[in-house]
Structure 1
Amino acid sequence: MHAHLQRMGRYNRWANQRLYDACAALPAGEFEKDRPAFFRSISGTLNHLLVTDRIWLDRILGRPFGGGKVDDRPFPRLDDLLPEREKLDREIIDAVAAMDDSTLAGITTYRMMTSPTPRQVPTALCWLHMFNHQTHHRGQVHDQMSQTATPPPSMDLIYFVYEEMA
């Protein structure tokens, strides 16, 4: 499991880099443009991922909740969001690497933002959820980008594996 989660951390960074590079090529205004999407724009969706990754990382590492809501947009501009994403992706990779098997086999206890009821979830599943959540919303950004003149990048896990094995 540990090796798999380490690979998922590297894949997460790789997919984010590809997606952010494509976003940098968007025509002016397309990154922030309102769209029929849950978080209303590419910017909104990528900010959601940054905010929720921080929430999950804090939960997994047992840090206090840093505040904020899942629809916050702390960095509406790509130029401001990109360095925060790169920093967080590095932190995720480092945090997974620092986990040992007993910690991964343990339980993460946290409270959901919408309920005071404590939740107890296997730590490895919390990591898997975080990576799956990233993939889900990157797919939404991929769809939003397909509505622009800038083609969205391929972010399939298998392409990352091919590159990593080369």
Structure 2
Amino acid sequence: MITPQYCRTMAQYNRWQNNGLRDIVKTMDEDELRKDRGAFFKSISETMNHLLWGDMLWMSRFDGGDGPSVGPEKHAQLTPNKAEWDRLRFLTDGRIIQWAEGAKSVDLTGDLTWYSGMSGKDLSEPKSLCVVHFFNHQTHHRGQIHAMLTAAGHKPQDTDLAIMSEN
């Protein structure tokens, strides 16, 4: 279904897009980030935290390292402020890159089994499907953040994967 090169490309895309978001977030005040904008997770901050929490959780499943410091009930409040979000986002993106660079075809085969705190049960799915979900989840929520930033008067960078190599 997927290859190690797919993982590397998507990890680079993730970092590229998050670096663009990080640049904008640094210019915003906390109140602007926490303003309820009517999105699924309400604010830019809560959506960014949900995405970061999910990335940390999935990476713990993929690489066996630590997961997020809070449980599912606090996923949208993972970090207390934009500085801590920025720090953890940078570290997590590096972790994703490191995992992707080391991925081999055999790592993407078979099933992944885990306990889901959100659903309260054990789940098992093909590893390749879990990896595709991981990257799709990032793109989905970054799209929500992009829309909220645009509506707030900011100009996020282009999101086209095809132009990533130009940057």
TM-score (norm 1): 0.87
Counterpart-to-counterpart distance in 1, 2:57 and 2:45: 18
Aligned match of 2:118: 114
- SS of 1:102's equivalent? helix
Give the direction of change, closer, same or farther, for the CA distance of 1:95–1:48 in structure 2 (3 Å limit): same
The answer to whether the 8 A contact 2:56-2:67 is kept is no
Give the residue type in structure 2 aligned to 1:103: D
**When you count helix as a share of all residues, which structure comes out higher?**
2
Give the direction of change, closer, same or farther, for the CA distance of 1:55–1:27 in structure 2 (3 Å limit): closer
Count of aligned positions: 163
Give the residue type in structure 2 aligned to 1:14: W
Equivalent of residue 128 in structure 2, options 107, 124, 141: 124
Q: Which moved more, 1:108-117 or 1:8-17?
A: 108-117
Equivalent of residue 41 in structure 2, options 3, 14, 39: 39
Counterpart-to-counterpart distance in 1, 2:44 and 2:21: 11
- SS of 1:8's equivalent? helix
The answer to whether the 8 A contact 1:5-1:96 is kept is yes
Instruction: Show the 5 A alignment for 1:116-155.
Output: 116-155=120-159
Aligned match of 2:13: 11
Give the gaps of 5 or more residues in structure 1.
none
Give the gaps of 5 or more residues in structure 2.
none
Give the superposed CA RMSD.
Answer: 2.0
Counterpart-to-counterpart distance in 2, 1:154 and 1:6: 20
Q: Which moved more, 1:58-67 or 1:94-103?
A: 58-67
Give the residue type in structure 1 aligned to 2:71: G
TM-score (norm 2): 0.87
Displacement of 1:143 after TM fit? Answer: 1.0
Displacement of 1:49 after TM fit? Answer: 0.8
Give the residue type in structure 2 aligned to 1:131: F
Give the direction of change, closer, same or farther, for the CA distance of 1:28–1:112 in structure 2 (3 Å limit): closer
Counterpart-to-counterpart distance in 1, 2:4 and 2:140: 22
Give the direction of change, closer, same or farther, for the CA distance of 1:8–1:65 in structure 2 (3 Å limit): closer
Give the residue type in structure 2 aligned to 1:106: G
